[in-house]
């Protein structure tokens, strides 16, 4: 039986392709402080989908080589399938978000959903390339290409973090009567004296200074700001509860300079740790703006 | 949409309209009522003028 199976010329290529696809998916499935995808069932779902993606990528090669071009059309089916993954993730996260003390915000959710879809395509590519390489250069070539795809996945895995575009500086939280400021940036009006006392005791502030004009527009995006609050509240804790709207971490923008004032209510009041957390928050893909790339902002196009 | 869900004040003559108004005897009572209403209505307390507090639901 095994001998019969091995006489099929595509068994080893398919096996290697699927194997590297699955390894890729597992490698890309990191559950970090976000605890998303959730363990164990969230991960199980994504590993299963990864297996399907790996299989699809791998079997595309024999269909090509046997000139069975109609069989290739199932790849379009795969695209449809993985677009649904994005929908599924978006729906789940939107539902969960309503129950968060500090929500992720729609942009963050969209970013996560996009990553899940994209990673399945990465798995398809890596399986396809590994299988193809095995057919061309035997199993040794297959393993080399498989490892190369893993390295590419590693490079594509993480996006940039805020420290690339802003300087995070600890700010001074102060209350002037009912008005709350971080340094000179106005945050909100706190009318309740009970809340004022808690804010004076627990509040921590940071000022985010954009490094260039692109950064200024990017961090102004409300989705990006909500993501900063969510990340910081997840890692440092948040001194609030349901029915405590006065105790809400908030980010406000200084309109004159484009700086951001970040007001947090962490359990962990370590200032340097907090700054690191903000520097480490991801830049939301959909919030990135590049006004400096526009023709009117290019040096040579500028009329002086 | 944001809406003022209640007004708490000691300045009875300065507020009116369709929103529930809670008149307090002094500032301490005003703060106590505001504290309770904040929890009950899940709205934030803002001071829009001295001794006039409003509760606004932001979400």
**Contact at CB, A191 and B53, closer than 8 angstroms:** yes
A172 and A263 together in one domain = yes
Q: Are residues A171 and A93 part of one domain?
A: no
> Where residue A300 falls among pLDDT bands split at 50, 70, 90?
low
Quote the number of domains for chain A.
Answer: 2
- What's the confidence (pLDDT) of residue A4? 79
Q: Is the pLDDT of residue A61 over 60?
A: yes
Do A72 and A134 sit in the same domain of this protein?
yes
A75 has pLDDT over 90 = no
Whether A177 and A262 share a structural domain:
yes
Task: Verify that A153 and A166 share a domain, yes or no.
Answer: no
Nearest residue on chain B to A245, alpha-carbon basis: B44
| CA distance to partner chain A, nearest, from residue B31 (Å) | 6
Residue of A192, A242, A248 lying closest to B45 (CB–CB) = A192
Whether residue A129 is found in the same domain as residue A203: no
* Statement to judge: residues A176 and A146 lie in one domain: no
- B7 CA: distance to closest CA in chain A (Å): 12
Domain boundary among A133, A157, A181: A157
Read off the pLDDT of residues A113-163 as tens digits, 9 standing for 90 and up: 998 888 889 999 999 999 999 999 888 899 999 999 999 998 888 778 999
Q: What is the per-residue pLDDT across A230-264, written as a single tens digit (0 to 9) for each?
A: 999 999 999 999 888 999 999 999 999 999 999 99
State the smallest CA–CA distance between residue A280 and chain B in angstroms.
Answer: 28
pLDDT band at A85 (very low <50, low <70, confident <90, very high): confident
Note whether A70 and A115 are same-domain residues. Answer: yes
CA separation for the pair A124, A119 (Å, rounded): 9
- Are A243 and B44 in contact (CB < 8 Å)? no
Please check the confidence at residue A301 and state whether its pLDDT lies above 60.
Answer: no
Query: Which of A178, A243, A245 is opposite residue B47, by nearest beta carbon?
Result: A178
Q: Is A29 helix (H, G, I), strand (E, B) or coil?
A: coil
Q: What is the mean pLDDT of chain A?
A: 89
Kindly state whether residue A300 falls inside one of the protein's structural domains.
no
Domain assignment present for residue A110? The answer is: yes
Kindly state whether residue A95 falls inside one of the protein's structural domains: yes
H helical segments located in chain A: 2-7, 11-28, 41-65, 69-72, 74-97, 106-157, 193-202, 213-220, 222-236, 271-280
Residues A143 and A283 in one domain: no
Question: Is residue A238 domain-resident?
Answer: yes
Q: Which letter, b or e, does each residue of A219-233 get, where b requires 16 or more Cβ atoms within 10 Å of its Cβ?
A: bbbebbbbbbbbbbb
Cβ pair A46, A25 in contact under 8 A: yes
A59, part of any domain: yes
pLDDT for residue A222: 94
Distance from CA of B11 to the nearest CA of A (A): 16
Identify all chain B residues contacting A244, using CB atoms and an 8 Å cutoff.
38-39
- Same domain, yes or no, for A8 and A82? yes
Tell me which residue range forms the domain holding A68.
2-157
Q: Last residue of a domain, which of A126, A157, A188?
A: A157
What's the rounded Cα separation, in Å, for the pair A175 and A11? 70
Range in A202-206, A251-255, A296-300, B47-51 the model is least confident about: A296-300
Question: Smallest Cβ distance to A243: which of B42, B48, B53?
Answer: B42
Give a yes or no: residue A84 inside a domain: yes
Sort out which chain A residues have CB atoms less than 8 A from B39's CB and list them: 243-244
Same domain? For A204 and A152 the reply is no
Residue A35: pLDDT band (50, 70, 90) is: confident
Residue of A nearest to B57 (CA): A245
The reply to whether A167 and A126 lie within a common domain is no
Residue A304: the pLDDT is 47
Of the residues A99, A126, A157, the one at which a domain ends: A157
Q: By CA distance, what is A242's nearest residue in B?
A: B42
Tell me the pLDDT tens digit for each residue of A87-108. Answer: 988 999 999 999 999 999 999 9
pLDDT of residue A197: 94
Lowest model confidence (mean pLDDT) among A59-73, A153-167, A187-201: A59-73
């Amino acid at each position: 039986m095994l001998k019969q199976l091995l006489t099929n010329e595509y068994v080893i290529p398919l096996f290697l392709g699927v194997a590297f696809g699955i390894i890729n998916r597992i490698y890309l499935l990191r559950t970090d402080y976000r605890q998303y995808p959730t363990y164990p069932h969230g991960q199980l779902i994504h590993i299963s989908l990864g297996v399907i993606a790996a299989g699809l990528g791998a079997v595309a090669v024999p269909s090509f080589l046997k000139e069975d071009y109609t069989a290739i059309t199932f790849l379009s089916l795969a695209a449809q399938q993985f677009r649904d993954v994005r929908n599924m993730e978006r729906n789940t996260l939107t539902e969960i978000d309503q129950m968060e003390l500090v929500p992720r915000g729609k942009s963050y959710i969209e970013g996560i959903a996009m990553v899940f879809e994209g990673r399945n395509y990465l798995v398809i590519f890596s399986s396809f390339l590994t299988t193809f390489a095995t057919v061309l250069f035997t199993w040794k070539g297959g393993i080399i290409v498989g490892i190369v795809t893993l390295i590419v996945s590693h490079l594509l895995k993480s996006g940039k973090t805020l420290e690339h575009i802003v300087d995070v500086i600890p700010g001074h939280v102060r209350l002037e009567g009912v008005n709350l400021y971080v340094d000179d940036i106005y945050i909100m009006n706190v009318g309740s004296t009970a809340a004022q006392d808690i804010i004076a005791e627990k509040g921590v502030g940071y000022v985010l200074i954009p490094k260039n004009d692109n950064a200024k527009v990017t961090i102004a995006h409300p989705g990006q700001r909500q993501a900063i609050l969510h990340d910081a509240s997840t890692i440092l804790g948040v001194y609030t509860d349901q029915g405590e709207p006065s105790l809400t971490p908030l980010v406000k923008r200084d309109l004159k300079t484009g700086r951001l004032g970040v007001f947090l209510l962490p359990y962990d009041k370590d200032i340097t740790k907090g700054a690191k957390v903000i520097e480490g928050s991801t830049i939301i893909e959909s919030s990135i703006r590049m006004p400096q790339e526009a023709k009117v902002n290019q040096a040579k196009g500028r009329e002086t | 949409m944001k809406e003022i869900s209640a007004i708490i004040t000691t300045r009875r003559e300065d507020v009116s309209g369709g929103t529930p108004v809670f008149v307090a005897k002094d500032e301490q009572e005003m703060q106590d009522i505001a504290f309770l209403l904040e929890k009950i209505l899940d709205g934030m307390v803002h001071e829009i003028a001295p001794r006039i507090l409003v509760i606004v639901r932001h979400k």
